[in-house]
Amino acid sequence: MKKPAVITTDPWESLKEFTAARIAMGRVGNSIPLTQYLEFKLAHAHARDAVYSELNSEAISYYLQHLDIPILKLHSKAENRNQYLQRPDLGRLLHEQSVEILKEHTGKYDLSIIIADGLSAHAVNSNAVQLVEALIRLFRSVKYKIAPICLTAQGRVALADHIAHGLNSKLSIMLIGERPGLSSADSVGAYLTYNPRPGLTDEMRNCVSNIRPEGLLHEPAAEKIFYLVQEAFRRKLSGVELKDNAGLITS
């Protein structure tokens, strides 16, 4: 008589509903089960695809045009994806033609919104429109003067310093595709810098991370960014000295 299979319940199995991390995968002999192995390979392929995805400037421009804010299409000094990955410094500098475009739109603005592909254009293509719409509603409620929205190809975080400085904005918000992980290839980060100018380093910025449908949702993310923007204007600074104190219990 054939013995019934022995099924051992993994004590971590119930924790899977709280995290996308790979836990309780089990094993077959000395290896992981075939299904989990194939899922890992698929996630790795999605991450690689995200790194080489392209910013869909046309679609983003189309869906943001109802905001009635000029949209500028800019480019860093990195000419293509391979150069962007091999020369991070070029992704932080603005192409000469883009510098000339900014000169035509220089004004006196409260803030600039810059959208860049970063390391996952897929993330930006999937989340930027909803996030920008939510931000604009909040900024207009307090009558901030908003600079033209900038869509930037092959851009890195520090490129926002050059763009906002060129537009003469008091504050920059860079929305950029984050480095894709094996459970999140569609995550956007928002970097906020008060008094942006070339030469700043990362301690001068605040970051709101993991903005995506399975992470921090668009509306709560916009409210968090809005809070930090208001605090930055009130204290005239950003970075390590600007803390997120929203929701703290007062004694």
Residues facing residue 171 across a β-bridge:
111, 194
Residue 100's alpha-carbon distances to 42, 75, 79, 103, 152, in angstroms, are 43, 12, 17, 5, 14
Q: Residue 206: name the closest of 224, 179, 218, 186 by CA.
A: 224
Give the Cβ contact number of residue 143 at 10 Å. 8
- Find the Cα–Cα–Cα–Cα dihedral 12, 15, 20, 25, rounded to 10°: 20
Give the Cβ contact number of residue 138 at 10 Å. 17
**How many Å apart are CA 137 and CA 139, to the nearest integer?**
6
**How many Å apart are CA 132 and CA 126, to the nearest integer?**
12
Sign of the alpha-carbon dihedral angle for 43, 48, 50, 54: negative
Q: Residue 206: which residues within 8 A CB-CB, separation 6 or more?
A: 191, 192, 193, 228, 232, 238, 239, 242, 244
Residue 197's alpha-carbon distances to 92, 130, 156, 237, in angstroms, are 12, 28, 15, 13
Give the Cβ contact number of residue 110 at 10 Å. 16
Return the SS3 of 203.
helix
Q: Which residues are annotated as a binding site?
A: 157, 178, 207
Q: Which residues are annotated as a binding site for adenosylcob(III)alamin?
A: 157, 178, 207
